[in-house]
Every structure is written in structure tokens, then in C-alpha cells.
Amino acid sequence: MSSNQKTVIITGASSGIGFALAEAYLQRGYNVVGNARTIERLLAAAEKLGNPPNFLAVAGDIARPATAKALFERAIAAFGKVDILVNNAGVFIAKPVGDYTEDDLDALVSTNLKGFFYPSQQAAVHMAANKSGHIVTISANIAMQPTVKVPALLPVLIKGGLINATRALAIELAASNVQVNTVAPGIIQTPLHGDYENSRAFFNTLSPSGRTGSTKDVVDAVLYLTDAGFISGVALPVDGGATAGTW
């Protein structure tokens, strides 16, 4: 384990975009602290990554403040400090407004809202003290431009709130040299969308480019933002132009 390299914390690191991010940062030589709900999923991900010594698995429900605190405490103990936080963990439930249940709301608030706030709170305090750092949150392009094709009031409500929270936190932390940004993906080929192959034709209609994105497209955007030195408070769509207008 190296304390000389930069360190990134990634929530939801065991699959999909989070796993791809972990792989990309490891390839850059970063220390990666991965979070998922269960240690079994993290250990399986670590094995797929080749069990690198600079990958630290910290399991726990990211909706709990104790999990966020443990993530930072263990990252700092192992690697000295945290340079980047990627709030990637998320769930997406799309249905007509009348069909949403209390359980749906609780799930979205827990993972998407609390799972953003508690790690970001820890990151803000730690990074402001260090006078450097990046916080990147994975939102959703549908929060920037809702579509009748996918009724999704609750994700729009919460993911849209994350975009505004990004702007507010960017301003609050600017004097501390901490950058705060959001990536807003469209349809990306991940387990989040369930049986992707059977829905491919419909998913392709959700972008004017007529295709869906890959995890690499999102990874490229996150890497760009965490490399950038003068970008803060932005929401970067990764959606083939879907938020540019109607078509």
C-alpha cells in the first residue's frame, strides 16, 4: 500500500460504473477505497481486479453516517489522506407517479440522497483541511431534462437535488481549493438497467445519437473532471446529446 500516490474513495464500487472507475484509477496507480453494501461483493470485485494491494474494501450501507466515517477513517489510516470522492452508489426506480410506494421513496432517499450527503460531508471537512480535493457525484441526465418516455419523478427529484447541491457545495468549498462536480449519465450499459439486451431498442430511442453509452464513457468524464484544475460546480451530461433538446 502506498501513501505517496493519490487516493480515491468510490461508493458502489463492486459493479457497473463503480467497478469500472475502480479499475481505471488502479491502472493510474491510485489507491482505491471501494465501498459496497456487503464485503462478499467487494471481495469478488477485488478478485476480478487481481487483488491489488492498493485496493481497500470497506463494506457497509452508505446511507448510514457510520459507514461514511469508516470509509474516511480507514482510507486515511491506510493511505494518509483522501484526494477524490466519487459518489457513485445509486438506485433508479422509474414508474408513473401514482405507482410509487413508500419503500421506493425510502430506497431512493437512503442510497441516492443520504449516500451522497454523508460521504460528501466527510470529504468536505477532510479536503478543506488539506486545501485540495475533488468530489464527483454520479447523477442522471433525466434530472436535467425529464422525458415523457421514462416517467421517473422520484429520481428526478433526488438526482436533480444533487445537481443543485453540487453547485452549492462547489461555492462553499471554492476558497479551500476543493472542486465539486457532477456527471449526469444517460442510459449506460450496466446491471442497473436489468435485462439490457431485451430493452436495447427502447434504450436507443432515449438519445438522439440512437445508441447507449458504456461505462468507459462515464469513466472518461469522471477522470476529466478529477484531472481538471479550474472546473467546479458543473453538471456534465454523458448521454449522446439527449439533454441538448428534443428530437
Q: Which band of pLDDT confidence, cut at 50, 70 and 90, is reported for residue 196?
A: low
- CA diameter of the chain: 52
At 68 the pLDDT is 98
Q: What is the torsional sign of CA 190, 35, 69, 64?
A: positive
Query: Based on the structure, what is the number of domains in the chain?
Result: 1
Residue 246 domain-assigned (yes or no): no
Does pLDDT of 10 surpass 90? yes
pLDDT for residue 67: 98
pLDDT over threshold 60, residue 2: no
The whole-angstrom distance between residue 189's C-alpha and the CA centroid of its chain comes to: 15
User: What average pLDDT does this structure show over 236-247?
Assistant: 93
Rounded CA-CA distance 62/71 in Å is: 9
Classify residue 77: in a domain, yes or no: yes
Percent of the chain with pLDDT over 70: 95
- The answer, yes or no, to whether residue 195 has pLDDT greater than 90, is no
pLDDT value at residue 13: 98
Q: Would you say residue 102 lies in a domain? A: yes
Residue 101 domain boundaries: 7-239
Calculate mean pLDDT across residues 121-146. Answer: 98
- Model pTM score: 0.95
Residue 164 lies in a domain: yes
- Reported as a single tens digit per residue, the pLDDT across 94-117 is 999 999 999 999 999 999 999 999
Instruction: Please indicate, yes or no, if residue 206 is contained in any of the structural domains.
Output: yes
Is residue 89 one of the residues assigned to a domain? yes
Given the DSSP bridges, would you call strands 178-185 and 235-238 parallel, antiparallel or unpaired? parallel
Torsion angle in degrees (nearest 10) through CA of 113, 191, 16, 187: -70
Alpha carbon distance 4, 64 (integer Å) = 30
Average pLDDT for 112-141: 98
Exposure on the CB side of residue 66, measured as CA atoms within 13 A: 4
Q: What is the pLDDT of residue 194?
A: 59
pLDDT of residue 189: 85
Q: Is residue 247 one of the residues assigned to a domain?
A: no
Q: Is residue 189 part of a domain?
A: yes
Q: What is the pLDDT of residues 79-88, one digit of tens each?
A: 999 999 999 9
| pLDDT attached to residue 193 | 55
Looking up residue 68, the CATH number of its domain turns out to be 3.40.50.720
